[in-house]
Structure formats: C-alpha cells, structure tokens
Amino acid sequence: MSATLALVMVSATPATAYAPVGIVHTEQVNVGPYEVTVGFSEWPLRAMQSLDFTFIPEDGIAGKSGTLTIDGPGMEADDRETELSRHPRQRDVWGLDIYALPEAGTWDLTFDIDGDAGHGRGTLEDIAVLDQPGPPLALSWTVVALPSAGMLTFLAVGWRRNKPGKKVDSLL
C-alpha cells in the first residue's frame, strides 16, 4: 500500500519529466519601475526556429501581471499581444515555450507590467533575427513529398495494369 502511494506521489509531481529552460543569452529591459531579464534558449535568433523565451522581473512575478507585445515582419495583428503567463517548464518566471518568430528581420518586445510599484512599460528593441536555418521551406517540402508521390505513382500504375474491376467482372 505504501509503495503504491509513493509511486502515485512521485508520478504526480509537476514537470518532473522536463528539464528547466537552458538560457544561453540574456538582455536587460527597463520596464518603468521594474527591471526585467529576457532570456533566450538559442542565440543568435533565427526565423522559423523554435526556442524558449523567459521574462524574469528582478523581484519575481508574484503580485504582478502584464502583457507582451511582439512586433516584427510577418507578424499577424491578432498574434502581436499576449498576456504574460508562467513558462510551462520554469514555473517561477514568465515565458514562451517553443516559440518561433516567422520571418527574419528586426523585432521588438514591448512589456506592460502592473504590480506593487505601479505600471511600467518598456521595450527590448532591435532584436536581430537571421534567416531560417537549413534549405528554403519549398525545397524541404518537395524533398519530403517525393517518397509519397513515388508511392502514389507506383500504386496508380499497379492498379491500371492489373485492372481489378475487369477481373471481377470476368469471374461472374
């Protein structure tokens, strides 16, 4: 009984299967009365490459709320503003988990934070995002689709050569 209870307790602990976010580069942003450290899990940033962002106020996130506005090329108007929420794998900070910026260019991250010290607004400006790693997307999708296209061609040729509909009719 106690072994079963111990097994349930160990398996029920949150995020035991995930490692914390590995931050390789940070930037400081003055958001009014708050100093925020922005962490990146990949550096330099590349378009269409998933990475983790963390947003860590100097005195923690307790008692604070806010929004993040992401501005850059190719960003849809509906997707620009998001509420600051806890990072799923590092629950004591705000963040974005496996997020990809859609295009290369210059990006800005604007923070609006409300807390005990009042309202603050600040922007991390001119974040350079390089071109997407690897070959262009059209070429990648073409290479991936070749085996499927070959298989469909093989099945179509086999179907036409065997003419299964006519063979069934001749048996009747």
pLDDT in tens, 130-159: 998 888 878 888 988 999 999 999 999 888
**What is the number of alpha carbons within 13 Å of residue 57 lying toward its C-beta?**
27
How many angstroms separate the CA atoms of 151 and 46, rounded? 34
- Domain contains 9: no
Residue 47 has pLDDT above 60, yes or no: yes
pLDDT of res. 76: 84
Number of independent structural domains in the chain: 2
Does residue 33 sit in the same domain as residue 100? yes
- Which residues have a Cβ under 8 Å from the Cβ of 87 and sit 6 or more positions away? 21, 52, 54, 93, 94, 95, 96, 97
Residue 125 lies in a domain: yes
Q: Is 6 part of a structural domain of the chain? A: no
Q: How confident is the model at residue 15 (pLDDT cuts 50, 70, 90)?
A: very low
Is residue 2, in this structure, part of any structural domain at all? no
Per the model's pLDDT, the better-predicted residue between 11 and 112 turns out to be: 112
Which range marks the domain in which residue 146 is found? 137-171
Which H or E element spans position 20?
none
Q: Would you tell me how many other CB atoms lie within 10 Å of the CB of residue 76?
A: 7
Confirm whether 16 is domain-assigned: no
Pair 166, 104 in one domain: no
Check whether residue 87 and residue 165 sit in a common domain: no
